[in-house]
Amino acid sequence: MFLRPIVIISLCLFVAGCGSTKTDRALSGGALGAGAGAVGGAITGGSPVTGAVIGGAAGAAAGALTDKDDINLGDPAWR
């Protein structure tokens, strides 16, 4: 029941990761994925820690595997 919205929100957060280098995108994707995974784990009755680890890994991988031309939302907030 809650799985579909969680998947949609997670995918949106993965796409929202921004940055001009692979490292920037991996860091922002990992942070967003960890947050989404923790919330998803808590909502579904699973472990928020496990959700954060899995979401963070998936987000970091998605950020590292994208090219600057694939997703360009500008410089990250920490620059």
Regarding predicted confidence, which is higher, 71 or 32?
32
| CA–CA separation, 43 and 55 (whole Å) | 14
pLDDT tens profile 4-21: 666 666 665 555 556 678
pTM value is: 0.63
- Segments making up each domain of the chain, as ranges: 3-65
What residues contact residue 17 under an 8 Å CB cut-off, 6+ apart? 25, 28, 29, 32, 59, 62, 63, 66, 71
Torsion 36-40-42-47 (CA) sign: negative
Task: Summarize pLDDT for 41-58 with one digit per residue, the tens.
Answer: 888 888 889 989 998 999
| pLDDT score recorded for residue 39 | 87
The rounded distance, in Å, linking the Cα atoms of 33 and 46 is 16
The first and second tokens of residue 1, run together, are 């029941």
pLDDT at 66 over 60: yes
pLDDT higher at 47 or 70: 47
